[in-house]
Chain A
Amino acid sequence: MSDATVFSSPFAHTGNSVTYVMLQVCFALVPCTLFGLYLFGWPALFLFLVTCSAAVFTELLCLYWLKQPWYRVLDGSALLTGWLIAITLPPWAPWWIGAVGAFFGVAVGKQLYGGIGQNIFNPAMLARTALLITFPVQLTSWVAPAPLGSELAPSFLQSLSITFASAPAPDALTGATALGHLKTALTLEQSASDVLANDFIWWEALLGVSAGSMGETSEVLVLLGALFLMWRRIIRWEIPVSMLATLAIFSLIFEVADSDNYAGVLFHLTSGGVLLGAFFIATDPITSPISRLAKLIFGAGCGLLVFVIRNWGGFPEAVAFSVLFMNSLTPLIDRYCRPRVYGRLPGGKPLPPLPSVDLAREVKRR
Chain B
Amino acid sequence: MLRGLLKLPQVRGGVHPVGHKDRSAALHILDLPLPERLYLPLRQHAGADAIPVVKVGDKVLKGQMVAVAPSEISAPVHASSSGRVVEIAEIMAPHPSGLKSTAIVIETDGEDRWIDTGVSGDPYDEEPLTLANRVANAGIVGMGGAIFPAAVKLKQGTRHEIKTVLVNGSECEPFLTCDDRLMREKAEEIVEGARLIRHILRAYKAVIAIEDNKPEAIAAMRAAAEPYGMVEVEAVPSMYPMGSAKQLIQEITGREVPAGARSTSVGVLVHNVGTVYAIQQALTYGRPLVSRIVTVAGGAINRPRNVNALVGTPVQHLIDACGGLNGDPAKLVLGGPMMGMPLPSTQVPTIKGATGVLALAKHEVPRSEASPCIRCASCVEACPMGLLPLEMAARSRADDFEGADDYGLRDCILCGSCAYVCPSHIPLVQYFQYAKGEQDAKRTAAKKMDYTVELSLAKQARIEAEKAAKAAEKAAKKAAKKKPVTATKPAETEAIKSPSEEESV
Contact = CB atoms under 8 A, between A and B. Distances in A.
Interface of A: 1-18, 20-21, 72, 75, 77, 115-118, 234, 236, 285-286, 290-291, 338-344, 350-354, 356, 359-360, 363, 365-366
A290 B256 contact: no
Contact of B96 (A4, A15, A236, A363): A4
Contacts of B384: 342
A359 B253 CA distance: 10
Contacts of B377: 236, 285, 290-291
B338 A9 contact: yes
A19 to B, nearest CB: 8
Interface string B372-413: 111111101000111110100000000000000001100100
B162 to A, nearest CB: 9
Nearest to A363: B254
B486 interface: no
A359 B414 CA distance: 28
A7 B365 CA distance: 11
B425 interface: yes
Interchain residue pairs A-B with the least CB separation, the first 6? A13-B366, A10-B416, A350-B259, A351-B258, A117-B372, A343-B259
A18 B255 contact: no
B373 to A, nearest CB: 5
Given A8-B429, A9-B429, A338-B388, A2 B331 contact: yes
B411 A341 contact: yes
Contact of A12 (B254, B337, B342): B337
Contacts of B15: 14
Contacts of A365: 1, 3-4, 10, 254
Interface string B328-348: 111111000111111111000
B69 to A, nearest CB: 28
Given A18-B423, A342-B411, A365-B3, 6 more contacts: A7-B368, A13-B366, A291-B377, A338-B407, A343-B260, A352-B258
Contacts of A353: 258, 261, 265
Nearest to A234: B376
A341 B7 CA distance: 23
Contacts of A286: 374-375
Nearest to A365: B4
B261 A11 contact: no
B246 interface: yes
Interface in B404-439: 407-408, 411, 414, 416, 419-425, 427, 429-430, 433
Nearest to B359: A2
B341 A8 contact: yes
A11 B371 CA distance: 18
Contacts of B343: 2, 4
Contact of A285 (B332, B365, B375, B433): B375
B324 interface: no
B250 A342 contact: yes
A270 to B, nearest CB: 29
Contacts of A6: 342, 368
B419 A341 contact: no
